[in-house]
Structure 1
Amino acid sequence: MITTKQRAYLRSLANKIDSIFQIGKGGIEAPFIKQVEDALEKRELVKITVLENSGMDPRDAHDHLVGALGCEGVQVIGSKIVLYKESKNNKKIELPGK
């Protein structure tokens, strides 16, 4: 689990990045989860946009991805989701208080 201070730090980093994935009418399936997992290993912090035609609420999509990936949900704001998972091989983000 990350602390409130660490979550705030990750939110500030997420402000500067663009969404690299979109959840559309295909929803969340195994290949999509694998792509997000690979991106988390490479970047540690990813932003995802939930499109209106997905039929999913952004909070539901967030909860599903956090459960499937074992990552930390940093933020759900509007149609955007921010996820964080510490990389095993490509550590880039140093969290405060760690």
Structure 2
Amino acid sequence: MSQPEKLSANQKKYLRSIAHNINPMIIIGANGVTDSLMAELESTLAHHELLKIKMNAADRDDRQTITDYIIKQTGALLVQSVGKTCVIYRQKEKTELPLPRN
């Protein structure tokens, strides 16, 4: 099963319900996005398909820029972005989170 290009509303709802109960695994601090942070994010995303990220960037535009950059670099899909927290999803080859069809 391969990574979908886009998530349907039903799939996003399913993933949000799972993400609601997990704590942020990556916290982006004052240094922003560094090479070591991206390496850690890639490693964590390879192990967990669904990842909650907390950003301590003060400005909304900065947080949006960081989120867009992360999605572009990792090939993940954005599930949700609320305030300083975003949830991304990248399906593994042998998925542990099978998505609903629609």
Q: TM-score, normalised by structure 1?
A: 0.87
- Return 5+ residue gaps in structure 1 as ranges: none
Which residue matches 1:93? Answer: 97
Q: Point out which structure has higher relative CO (alpha carbons under 8 A, 6+ apart).
A: 2
Q: In structure 1, what residue type is equivalent to 2:96?
A: K
Q: Which moved more, 1:54-63 or 1:33-42?
A: 54-63
**Distance in 2, Cα, partners of 1:72 & 1:27:** 20
**Distance in 2, Cα, partners of 1:49 & 1:66:** 14
Q: In structure 2, what residue type is equivalent to 1:4?
A: A
What's the secondary structure of 1:66's corresponding residue? helix
**Distance in 1, Cα, partners of 2:61 & 2:34:** 13
Q: Which moved more, 1:23-32 or 1:11-20?
A: 23-32
**Distance in 2, Cα, partners of 1:10 & 1:80:** 15
What's the secondary structure of 2:52's corresponding residue? strand
Identity of aligned residues (%): 27
Kept in 2: contact 1:23–1:54 (CA 8 A):
no
Which residue matches 1:28? Answer: 33
Structural RMSD (CA): 2.0
**Distance in 1, Cα, partners of 2:85 & 2:12:** 16
Q: Does 1:68 align with 2:61?
A: no
What's the secondary structure of 1:57's corresponding residue? helix
